[in-house]
Structures are given as C-alpha cells and as structure tokens.
Amino acid sequence: MSTVIYENEGHKCLSFGDLVEGEGIQSNQFLILDGDSSAIIDPGGNLTYSRLYVHAGRHTTVKDLDFVIASHQDPDIVASVSKWLVGTSCRVVIPSMWARFLPHFFAPGSYSPERIMVVPDSGGTIAFGRSSLVALPAHFLHSVGNMNIYDPVANVLFSGDIGSSVDPGNVSMPVTNFGAHVGSMIDFHRRYMTSNRACRFWAQMIRQLEPEWIVPQHGAPFKGPEVIDEFLTWFERLECGIDLFTEDDFQTGSAFAQHITT
Ligand SMILES: [Fe+2]
Ligand SMILES: [Fe+2]
C-alpha cells in the first residue's frame, strides 16, 4: 500500500511501508515523481525488490525510472541495486564513501560504472524534473558516509535511519504524541547513531530548512513544525554510540565466556 506524502502540480511523493516480506526489519521505500521524472529512495534488498517494482508501477512506468538513490550502503537500503540497474534505465546515486563498495553487489562483469552518480561528502543537488533533489550530509548518522535527500518542492526531508522507530503500529500515520513515541526510537538511536556531536550538527543544519515533513526509513514520519521541533530538540540532546561506550564494552573475558549458537 502506498501513502501520498505530497501531491501538487505534477509533483508527488509516495511512501511504501508494508512491502518487506519475511524476517526483515520494517522499512519504508519512497517514490518521487515530477512530471515524467521518477526517483526511488532507498529501495532495499531482495525482500522488497519485486513488490516495490509492482507497487511503484501503479504510479509510473518503472522501466523508465530515472534514479535509484541510496543514502548509504546497508542491505535494507540498496542490496537490490543490481536488479534495479537491469530492470530499469535508472542511474544510481550514492555517497562517495560507498561507491567503491557498490560493485560487490554485482556479478563479475555486470557492473555499470557509467550509470553511477557519486555524491561528495559535502552533498550536492541532482537535477530532477522541473526542480532538483538535494543530497545533504548526514555523516556518522549512522553510516560513516551517509546522506539525506531533501525535496524542496514538497519540503520533505527523507532522513534515512535518523528518526527511525521500531514499532509495529501504523507507519503511515505521522507521530502525534512525541513523548509516547520516544520509547520506540531510543534503543535504536542510542546504538545505531555514532555520537552526539554529529546529532547536534545535523539538527542545526535541518532547522535551517524548516521542513514540513521528516520521513525516516523505518517507522512513522514527523509532520509539522511542533513535532519536528520536539524531534530535533530530542535528537540534539541524545547521547549515543561512542558517547555511551566504556572499556567495559571491550573485554576479552566476556567474549570468551559467551558461546554462540543458532
Ligand atoms: Fe542503515
Ligand atoms: Fe535502515
């Protein structure tokens, strides 16, 4: 099922929140359309490829897809990249940190470097329809080379893993009670985000945009200035990642004592 995030004058943003089959973590995939131009953000891996192709096909001619945009390197982000390059005419947009690893998703000899667009660490704009999509830096949140996609026409920030929640509830409905929502975010962010320093810099940058929506890759989106301010305030105060690690987390004793089984 798709959810329309924005639609006006031929520009449309759609979210798909229920396509993951099997054991994988719930993930949202996104389709942006502007006239005849089309982009999929963070399509995922083998658990979503076929269903996303079919569902996106209800809104556009998928074989003519212009872009597959990968915010970072994770399996739930871009493991299906080889299929998208074969099944559509897309180009793949990916941060420079991860472009050199992309060939590992392909069979030998099937990689197409001429169809890869590499975004520098400082970000950049991608011409799209009558406007552009903006790739914004999101270093270390959580991937070392991570980017977010901002759609200035819709005023939507696709924030990737930032703002994600692990909650079986209705992921198409925006968060209304931020305080109650924190419980589904906190463990994920404490471990998957790298450091408060990165959180603060990112939140400062995002406040300048004044987005109407912040839409993460997992769980429910944030809509409107009040709840977005609550989220950014929480995020810039968050202690996470290396802020929380101590030498107790690097002990040979606990490793040798733990027997790993299926
Ligand atoms: Fe990730
Ligand atoms: Fe993710």
Residue 57 lies in a domain: yes
Ligand 2 centroid from CA 45, angstroms: 11
What is the structure's pLDDT at 131? 95
At 22 the pLDDT is: 81
Counting ligands in written order, the one closest to the CA of 76 is 2
Tokens of 242: 């290396």
CATH, residue 187: 3.60.15.10
| Residue at 252 is within a domain | no
Burial 168-183 (b: 16+ CB within 10 A, else e): eeebbeebeebeebee
Pairwise CA distance, residues 161 & 183, whole Å? 16
pLDDT tens sequence for the chain (262 residues): 799 999 999 999 999 999 998 889 999 999 999 999 999 999 999 999 999 999 999 999 999 999 999 999 999 999 999 999 999 999 999 999 999 999 999 999 999 999 999 999 999 999 999 999 999 999 999 999 999 999 999 999 999 999 999 977 889 999 999 999 999 999 999 999 999 999 999 999 999 999 999 999 999 999 999 999 999 999 999 999 999 999 999 999 999 999 999 9
CA 83 – ligand 2 centroid, Å: 19
Q: What pLDDT is recorded for position 181?
A: 96
- Give the model's pLDDT for residue 160: 98
The answer to the question of residue 205 being in a domain is yes
Q: Is residue 188 part of a domain?
A: yes
Strands 116-119 and 91-95: parallel
Q: Residue 190 Cα, ligand 2 centroid: separation in angstroms?
A: 14
In a domain, 160, yes or no: yes
Q: Is residue 17 part of a domain?
A: yes
| pTM, to two decimals | 0.97
Domain count, the chain: 1
Which residues are close to ligand 2, an ion, with C-beta < 5 A? 76, 161, 217
For residue 202, what are the domain limits? Answer: 2-244
pLDDT at 153: 98
Ligand index nearest the alpha carbon of residue 142: 1
Residue 216 lies in a domain: yes
Of the bound ligands, which one is closest to the alpha carbon of residue 73? 1
Q: Is residue 46 part of a domain?
A: yes
Examine residue 189 and say whether the peptide bond preceding it is cis (omega within 30 degrees of 0): no
